[in-house]
Structure 1
Amino acid sequence: MVTPMQLIVESRAVPEGDTVWNTAQVVGRALTGQQIQRGDFRVPRLAGANVSGWTVVESACRGKHLLLRLATPADERYTLHSHLRMDGAWRVYAPGERWRRPAHQVRVALYTPAGVAVGFHLHELALVPTADEHRLVGHLGPDLLGPDWDPAEATRRLASRPDRTIADALLDQRNLAGIGNLYKAEVLFLRGLSPWTPVAGVDDLDGLVELAQRLMASNLGRWDQATTGSLRPREKQWVFDRAGAPCRRCGTTIRRANLGDYDRITYWCPRCQPGPAPDGGTRPTGARD
């Protein structure tokens, strides 16, 4: 399982639901119950915030959002909210230890007797009353790793826009919270679906949702995001970040292209994932680049 000091080692894990869950666990184990000696905020809207003397109550998450819940000396409850997006990260360091990222990337540092929690490249950093958390994360769909996980509701939300591409629908956090580019690409490969397939063309949305949750949950407690069953270097994913390499199943060259509402790069095997393609045509089963 994850231990507090594992965050000292830099990880290349993509900030998706499992990474944020792991981060919340590490920060929580290191800081829960600790009193903040000093808070250093390096974003304009929080430049004057003073959390000295506040206590860390809990470290939680919703999708890609990290929620650090705090209590004032008067027992008023606040939440320090951050969104990791593509490049955000929290790291926990021992007191006096050198930070392993450039100072210009720091957005917040919380100093406690047990250690220093540092947020790098964080997005949407906000300090709000805990009672108002819903204003920041209430729009999210069921969290694949949360207590609110509801596969039937996630399927219903996906199906509500049948003409949308399945890749875009999976990335929409209002449908289900936690999936990013990596799990989107891997789930679609394993289900044999072109990323450009319309939602209405997916025969088994329930199975797709179940697989997404199972894949992500399988990586809890480790930074390696493996979907192939192998933890060996360069063998962890089927198609993600493998453009130009041969498909592990059929040998066809893995392709990449930008896609849809989010203009995000997607990866796919045109033979294992037949259907609509970015050139406007279709790729039937058996086609090769």
Structure 2
Amino acid sequence: MPEGDTVWLTANRLHRALAGRPLTTSDFRVPALATVDLAGRRVDEVLARGKHLLTRLEGELTFHSHLRMDGSWYLSRTGGPPPRRHPPHMIRALLANDEWTATGYRVHDLHVVARADEARFVGHLGPDLLGPDWDAARAVANLRTEPDVAIGEALLDQRHLAGVGNMYKAEVLFVERVHPWTRVGDVGDLDRVVATSYRLLRMNRDHPEQSTTGRTARGQEHWVYGRGGEPCLKCGTAIERADQGEPPRARVTFWCPVCQPAP
């Protein structure tokens, strides 16, 4: 699933291409929006809120979308060849001005609502790690409201803090030497866990490549994520992996049993 930094970068690129100009085309290929036409309306801004994308338009309207596991937006020159990343039947939304066309492949949760109603989609979110509302103290306080929940699950709960996904969860906990099944109430320094979450997402938000180790060589970008059975880059112990959480929300988790001793 695209994580907070990927969604932030997507919003930033869409904003630079679309904001301040009227749309010449809007084409929504989902039944609920089949008759909606936003052509002629100026795009005021595109922003990320956690893992949600909000395209705000003239007339106090907002177009909401979510990338979920497989969604993506691509930009191409209007009038030029379309992106060749996915087959055309996967297109669910098109927004274009006279210079740029934004094509949404397999994007989800598409809605056009009054801007005042955005809270329907993002009002439940905690402070956004990459947003102007970031508040580390509130994020820590939110986590502490569920002391008996495993920290690996708590970090993924977007109500606590918005933007951490499965990869960053694993990497943050490795950096802080915290086992994923440690109870929130037993984590020695939640402030450091939250600060590291912020640092790693901020470090990667301006480019599509994600590295938490500072390395870019293939297989060396992450400390533990996606490296089950491989040697830990710190101590050489085999990385372990297991599902964490209750189905259907269980997510595969990676950790080093030596660097992150079990509680």
Verify same fold: TM over 0.5. Answer: yes
For residue 162 of structure 1, report the CA deviation from its aligned partner: 0.6
CA separation in 2, counterparts of 1:44 and 1:250? 53
Counterpart of 1:8 in structure 2 is: none
CA separation in 2, counterparts of 1:252 and 1:18? 29
* Corresponding letter in the other structure for 2:183: P
CA separation in 2, counterparts of 1:205 and 1:231? 29
Deviates more, 1:171-180 or 1:79-88: 79-88
Q: Deviations over 1:61-120 (max 9, x none)?
A: 11101111111xxxx111111111222111111122232211222110112211110111
Counterpart selection for 1:166 from 136, 148, 151? 151
Counterpart of 2:130 in structure 1 is: 145
Alignment of 1:241-252 (within 5 A): 241-252=226-237
Counterpart of 1:99 in structure 2 is: 83
Counterpart of 1:132 in structure 2 is: 117
In the alignment, structure 1 residue 47 sits paired with structure 2 residue 59: no
TM-score normalized by structure 1? Answer: 0.87
Counterpart selection for 2:14 from 24, 27, 30? 27
Alignment of 1:51-90 (within 5 A): 51-71=38-58, 76-90=59-73
For residue 233 of structure 1, report the CA deviation from its aligned partner: 2.5
Counterpart of 2:217 in structure 1 is: 232
CA separation in 2, counterparts of 1:92 and 1:121? 15
TM-score normalized by structure 2? Answer: 0.95
In the alignment, structure 1 residue 188 sits paired with structure 2 residue 169: no
Q: Deviations over 1:238-259 (max 9, x none)?
A: 0111112111011111121111
Contact 1:239/1:254 (<8 A) preserved? yes
CA separation in 2, counterparts of 1:153 and 1:244? 36
Counterpart of 1:215 in structure 2 is: 200
CA separation in 2, counterparts of 1:248 and 1:26? 34
3-state DSSP of counterpart to 1:218? helix
CA separation in 2, counterparts of 1:141 and 1:55? 29
3-state DSSP of counterpart to 1:214? helix
* Corresponding letter in the other structure for 2:49: R
CA separation in 1, counterparts of 2:191 and 2:74? 36
Identity of aligned residues (%): 51
Counterpart of 2:108 in structure 1 is: 123
CA separation in 2, counterparts of 1:147 and 1:53? 29
3-state DSSP of counterpart to 2:155? helix
Contact 1:34/1:114 (<8 A) preserved? no
For residue 26 of structure 1, report the CA deviation from its aligned partner: 0.5
For residue 54 of structure 1, report the CA deviation from its aligned partner: 1.3
CA separation in 2, counterparts of 1:29 and 1:234? 32
Counterpart of 1:255 in structure 2 is: 240
CA separation in 2, counterparts of 1:269 and 1:121? 35
CA separation in 1, counterparts of 2:137 and 2:69? 28
Contact 1:244/1:254 (<8 A) preserved? yes
CA separation in 1, counterparts of 2:203 and 2:73? 22
What value does the CA root-mean-square deviation take over the aligned residues? 1.2
* Corresponding letter in the other structure for 1:127: V
* Corresponding letter in the other structure for 1:91: Y
Counterpart of 2:99 in structure 1 is: 114
For residue 31 of structure 1, report the CA deviation from its aligned partner: 1.1
Structure 2 gap segments, 5+ residues each: none
* Corresponding letter in the other structure for 2:199: R
